[in-house]
Amino acid sequence: MNAHAEPLVLLERADGVALLRLNRPQRHNSLVPELLQALLGALDEIEADSSIRAAVLTHAGPNFSTGGDVAAFAEQGDGIAKYAARLLALLNRSILRLAALRCPVVAAVEGWLTGGSLGLVLACDIAVLAHDARVAPFYTVVGFSPDGGWTAMLPQIVGTPRARAWQLNNTIVAAPEAAAHGIAAALAAPGSAEADAIALARGIAAKVPGSVAHTRALLRWDADALAAALERERAAFVAQVATAETAAGMRRFLAGRARE
């Protein structure tokens, strides 16, 4: 990214609420190391600002995030395993940081939510999905191993049999079904997820701080168990990503995208 490029994560503050916006819309906010580093930096800013009582994780463009940037993986050549190890380390740090953040976080999701980006949403306290949003893994299509909490977090929310079926079949899950199974706490009209998330965040920010803090602490993911499960995902991903079948899967996937 050159010095004159737009930041990959935008941070705004207003009335005690921070707005975190993934800002790589030309690539559907797909995950690359630079974006995740920017996200971690913004989360550090929020953690250090005691005036922020709640935060909203949202996005620029029509899609929340399409997970790891397949084209960026394909460009790595013999360095793909090293790149994957770095990317997933940053993704796991981002998930753990969101889950442990000092203030509540509400996710606002429009469009596609796929691959490892799901973990960013699951780590938030509440998620709002637009009615026409869609959640999908794409691992068994591209040839990757699951990351971003698809095995470390999702089974605890939707149940292991359903999580297994969604991933093995590459099921595209519509927002109402995702909400019915606990991925989201609320549905919004298309185009309104961010506004609804901000309203929820402001409502939480107005509640009694100590009560909010204790509620979140008692319901928080077990940090050690989650870190260990995410690390298992990272190790499996790195082992799979350098295989010939994954290289072939990426080529098929990118060729299909080029025809769209």
The mean predicted confidence, pLDDT, of the chain is 96
Q: What is the reported pLDDT for 114?
A: 98
Domain count, the chain: 1
Establish if 57 belongs to a structural domain.
Answer: yes
Print pLDDT tens along the chain (260 aa). 444 589 999 999 999 999 999 999 999 999 999 999 999 999 999 999 999 999 999 999 999 999 999 999 999 999 999 999 999 999 999 999 999 999 999 999 999 999 999 999 999 999 999 999 999 999 999 999 999 999 999 999 999 999 999 999 999 999 999 999 999 999 999 999 999 999 999 999 999 999 999 999 999 999 999 999 999 999 999 999 999 999 999 999 999 875 55
Question: Using alpha carbons only, what angle is made at residue 220 by residues 57 and 24, rounded to the nearest 5 degrees?
Answer: 20
pTM here?
0.96
List alpha helices for 123-192, DSSP H: 139-142, 154-158, 160-168, 175-180
Q: Give the range of the structural domain holding residue 175, as residue numbers without chain letter.
A: 9-259
Rounded Cα distance between 130 and 176, Å, is: 9
β-pair type (112-114, 17-22): unpaired
Structure tokens at 80: 């793909």
| pLDDT score recorded for residue 1 | 44
Q: Give the tokens for residue 28.
A: 């559907």
Question: Residue 148 falls within a domain, yes or no?
Answer: yes
Flag whether 97 is in a domain: yes
Half-sphere exposure of 254 (CA within 13 A, CB side): 14
Give the model's pLDDT for residue 2. 44
70: phi then psi, degrees, rounded to nearest 5: -60, -40
The pLDDT, as a whole number, for residue 3 is 45
Nearest to 142 by CA among 235, 243, 25, 63: 243
Per-residue pLDDT reduced to its tens digit, 152-165: 999 999 999 999 99
pLDDT per residue over 187-197, tens digit each? Answer: 999 999 999 99
Residue 1 placed within a domain: no
164 occurs within a structural domain: yes
Question: 4 in a domain, yes or no?
Answer: no
Do 36 and 69 contact (CB within 8 A), yes or no?
no
Where does residue 110 fall: left (phi above 0), alpha (psi -120 to 50 degrees), or beta otherwise?
Answer: beta
Task: Report yes or no on 202 lying in a domain.
Answer: yes
Domain membership of residue 2 (yes or no) is no
User: End-to-end alpha-carbon separation of the chain, Å?
Assistant: 27
pLDDT of residue 258: 58
Domain CATH number, residue 79: 3.90.226.10
